[in-house]
Amino acid sequence: MNIRHFFFLSLIILFSIPGLSQANRQDEALAEIQKHYERVETFSAKFTQKAYVKMLGKSQKSIGTVLIKKPGKMRWSYRNPDPQLLVSNNKMLWFYAPEEDQVSQMPMDDVYSSNAPALFLSGKGKLAESFTAQKVDEENGEITLTLVPIKEDHSLTQLLLYADNKTFQITGASVYDKLGNRTEIRFKDIQINLEIPDKTFQFKKPPEAEWLDLKNTP
């Protein structure tokens, strides 16, 4: 697995609070984050992604912009170190690597069927149905909520959500898997509930690009 393919897979997998009791503060933080995100119809931000692939012994930092429109529409545009584009229209997911002139695609139903974080981001899933809140920490106005899967996951072992400790706006996430890989994404210049046209989430295949169909077939 090269580091570019790990970025693609990690995206598919792809956050003491005042007023919360000690016994239930992690569950209440989880509920507040869910409640806030349910009020978000669109989300736009700049992001920084740091990924470490244990098998390769390599880390890489990437930057770009993200647009999300519920339900299930996403556009992740990477600028550095390599231009890459990930687009979903809620039915299909496309990943385009211009330097390799290659497009990968898969149905979003395949993503949702095995990926609770993707369901949450799309607005279709509830975190408490898939994760147990293990602990919550606070530092510099931000909370870190540690979540573990309720059911054993074939890859995901832990999800950290980062959020503002007053508004519960998600500011980032870290994903850990069983192979020792980890991916952290941090957002800045966040804007919510702006008008984003649906055409933003349509993908046109470049004429000469190689096409890879990653449909999850039995």
CA–CA separation, 205 and 209 (whole Å)? 7
Q: Which residue has the higher pLDDT, 110 or 126?
A: 126
CA–CA separation, 68 and 192 (whole Å)? 9
**Is 162 within 8 Å of 173 (Cβ atoms)?**
yes
| Position 97 in a domain | yes
* CATH for 170: 2.50.20.10
**Neighbouring residues of 23: CB distance < 8 A, sequence distance ≥ 6:** none
Q: Residues 37-64: what's their mean pLDDT?
A: 91
| Position 57 in a domain | yes
Domain count along the chain? 1
| Position 213 in a domain | no
Please give the residue range of the domain that contains residue 95: 3-14+23-203
pLDDT tens across 41-53, in order? 999 999 999 989 8
pLDDT tens across 123-163, in order? 666 788 888 999 999 999 999 999 998 887 667 889 999 99
| Position 218 in a domain | no
User: In whole numbers, what is the pLDDT of the chain averaged over residues?
Assistant: 82
Question: Which of left, alpha, beta for 180 (phi over 0: left; psi -120 to 50: alpha)?
Answer: left
| Position 214 in a domain | no
Query: What pLDDT shows up at residue 122?
Result: 59
| Position 128 in a domain | yes
| Position 118 in a domain | yes
Query: What pLDDT shows up at residue 22?
Result: 41
Whole-structure pTM value: 0.81
| Position 106 in a domain | yes
